[in-house]
Structure 1
């Protein structure tokens, strides 16, 4: 079983590779090209995803592409007291607030809450991934809690250097169903 220190070390190593990757834009372009041709993307009307920070794939392009295709985008608002989150609609021109962790989130009073089961797709962020869909995120467990009773499709975006041969899973970990990489799409088999 991987302990907390090992997770932190792996996170640190992958994020360093991320920072030092000279091909990040090329990899991102390849991942997005694959994503936009997947039926799961094409058929989705309501898509939940984070507004990216600098250590994540730039979701601005995904958001704009979705808007161009008349899709609805939702982004999460986290509650650090309960370590939970809710998704709110995010439309062109909507303002966001910057949290203590430098994450752009919707303003609850200005954005429309969207129920979990209304989502056709949720794109789950992460740092490291295994082929069976398990991931190491940023350490808060927000997505694992949110996805525990979500029945719709989930996917993550990953470069080859983010893929790991194996990640130890814990009882609360929720795997994604698909991982779109610069080399192809992985249809995850959960064990």
Structure 2
């Protein structure tokens, strides 16, 4: 089995050749059909980086949305709505300028991933921010949208890796 480092390189290479615009539209449509999304009032999404699925169309839905903000190796959640100002983080990621709130408000987290396996484990970017956050907030439901090209049989899993509740293949 390839190492996580090798898999990250492979996933980033594959993503460059995908039609992210089409995949993003499909992701938004499929997420809107999932019961845990329909029932959720407070949803953590992610701001898309290069070649990443863009879920910002969800901001049109009648829900409260939040974006992650990383500080001191910890993930915080901040309210976000269409038109809110963003700032670049030290990781060159767009983050909200609003103040963090208690994660207990969340009903759902839509988690980014480079790859996902058939057991519901995801391969992230390697910082562990989401896995630590999910470990501390295991009561919150999770969804990961993933292009079919990045949906694999099995990923290397470590003790701190958290399983996703709903995987949406695109």
Superposed pair shares fold, TM > 0.5: yes
Query: 2:76 maps to what in 1?
Result: 86
The structure having more radius of gyration, on CA atoms, is 1
Query: 1:105 maps to what in 2?
Result: 95
Query: 1:120 maps to what in 2?
Result: 107
Query: 2:53 maps to what in 1?
Result: 57
CA contact 1:122–1:155 (8 Å) conserved in 2: yes
Q: Which runs of 5+ in 2 are unaligned?
A: none
SS in 2 for 1:70: coil
Query: 1:41 maps to what in 2?
Result: 37
Distance 2:10 2:82 in 1: 36
TM-score (norm 1): 0.82
TM-score (norm 2): 0.92
Query: 1:27 maps to what in 2?
Result: 23
Please report how far the alpha carbon of residue 102 of structure 1 lies from its aligned counterpart in structure 2 after TM superposition. 1.6
Q: Which runs of 5+ in 1 are unaligned?
A: 183-191
CA contact 2:27–2:55 (8 Å) conserved in 1: no
Please report how far the alpha carbon of residue 43 of structure 1 lies from its aligned counterpart in structure 2 after TM superposition. 1.1
Query: 2:132 maps to what in 1?
Result: 145
Please report how far the alpha carbon of residue 144 of structure 1 lies from its aligned counterpart in structure 2 after TM superposition. 0.5
- Residue 2 of structure 2 is aligned to residue 10 of structure 1: no
Please report how far the alpha carbon of residue 140 of structure 1 lies from its aligned counterpart in structure 2 after TM superposition. 0.3
Bigger mean CA offset, 11-20 vs 23-32: 23-32
1:147-188: per-residue Cα shift (whole Å, max 9, x none)? 002112101110111111001210111111111112xxxxxx
Query: 1:72 maps to what in 2?
Result: 64
Query: 2:166 maps to what in 1?
Result: 178
- Residue 157 of structure 2 is aligned to residue 157 of structure 1: no
